[in-house]
Amino acid sequence: MQSGNIFLAGVGGQGTLLASELLSEAFLLSGYDVKKSEVHGMAQRGGAVTTHIRFGPKVYSPLIEPGSAGLLIAFEKMEALRFVHYLSPDGVVIANTQEIQPPSVLRGLELYPGDIETRLRAAAGRVFLVDALSSALALKEVRAVNVVMVGAASHFLPLPAQAYEDALKLRLPAKILDVNVAAFRAGRELLASTGGVA
């Protein structure tokens, strides 16, 4: 059984908590020990939010150490760069191309960095930028960005696609299940050409 660390980064309101819930549930359903940690409350109000997921035969710490995440899933492009130091040297970055301006950029005091992709590629071996927002909008469900990202990231985790779809069935109410299964498959399709499980 493999062990691994998944670091999720996004902006409050983007659904990172649900994405982390699905990933954790998929590992538990597949017989892994799993822990995940996140914060609620004030931090969620449009601020940078992160979730740590750790899986393996036995997990102690709920927190990932910097430099040790095998996978960084960023729901917003700049958040990938903010937390890329959590990635291990051979880790993979999956970043959504969506840009959400932070307060200082909204007010024109700072620029949204224009060189994020270059800096990500300098910091990490394998970087995949995906347009999850367009996939979600194509499904007429902007809130499905998170599940599209899970689909794209699933290529780099040691579980079969069915494990995630089982987790979706377990955690989501029936009326939003279909669109989220479609979002997962759309996300998986986005990176289908990259060669599968790392």
Partner 1 sequence: MSVPTKETLVLLSGNEAIARGAFEAGVKVASAYPGTPSTEILENFAKYEGVYAEWAPNEKVSVEVAIGASMAGVRALSTMKHVGVNVAADPIFTASYTGVRGGLVIVAADDPEMHSSQNEQDSRHYAVAAKIPMLEPSDSAEAREFTLLAYDLSEKYDTPFFLRSTTRIAHAKGAVRIGDPVVPPVEPGIVRDAAKWVMLPVNARRRHVLVEERTRALVEYAETSGINRIEPGSRALGIVTSGVSYQYVKEAFPEASVLKLGMAWPMPEKMILDFAAGVDRLVVVEELDPHIETHVKALGLKAQGKELIPICGELDPRIVREGITGERGSAHSPERVPNRPPNLCPGCPHRGLFFVLNKLKAIVSGDIGCYTLAALPPLSAMDLCVCMGASVGAAHGIEKALGKGAHGQVVAVIGDSTFLHSGITGLIDIVYNRGNSTVIILDNGITAMTGAQENPSTGKTLQGKPTHRIDFVALCRAIGVAHVYPVDPHDMEATEVVLKREMAREAPSVVITQALCALLPEHRRAERPVYEVSPAACVGCKACSKLGCPAIEWVPYTPEDAALAGKKPAQKGVTRINPLLCDGCGQCPPLCKFNAILRKSQ
Tell me: does residue 158 bind partner 1 (CB under 8 A): no
Residue 42, number of CB atoms within 10 A of its CB: 8
Could you tell me the smallest distance in angstroms from the CB atom of residue 195 to partner 1?
A: 27
Q: Name which position in 97, 101, 134, 194 contacts partner 1 (CB under 8 A).
A: 101
| DSSP string for residues in 142-191 | GGGHHHHHHHHHGGGSSS-HHHHHHHHHHHS-HHHHHHHHHHHHHHHHHT
- Distance, in Å, from the CA atom of 169 to the CA atom of 159, rounded to the nearest integer, reads 16
Alpha helix positions (H), 2-142: 16-29, 77-82, 103-106, 116-123, 132-138
For partner 1, the closer CB: 176 or 194: 176
**Residue 120: exposed, middle, or buried by beta-carbon count in 10 A (0-12, 13-18, 19+)?**
buried
Tell me: does residue 139 bind partner 1 (CB under 8 A): no
Q: Name which position in 90, 110, 178, 189 contacts partner 1 (CB under 8 A).
A: 110
- Distance, in Å, from the CA atom of 70 to the CA atom of 93, rounded to the nearest integer, reads 9
Could you tell me the smallest distance in angstroms from the CB atom of residue 88 to partner 1?
A: 10
Judged by CB under 8 A, the number of residues near partner 1 is 62
Could you tell me the smallest distance in angstroms from the CB atom of residue 54 to partner 1?
A: 10
Q: Name which position in 4, 6, 15, 24 contacts partner 1 (CB under 8 A).
A: 24
**Backbone phi, psi, residue 152, to 5°:** -65, -40
Q: Name which position in 117, 119, 177, 194 contacts partner 1 (CB under 8 A).
A: 119
Tell me: does residue 81 bind partner 1 (CB under 8 A): yes
Q: Where along the sequence are the contacts to partner 1 (CB under 8 A)?
A: 1, 11-13, 21, 24-25, 28-48, 57-63, 65-67, 78-79, 81-86, 100-108, 110-113, 119, 123, 142
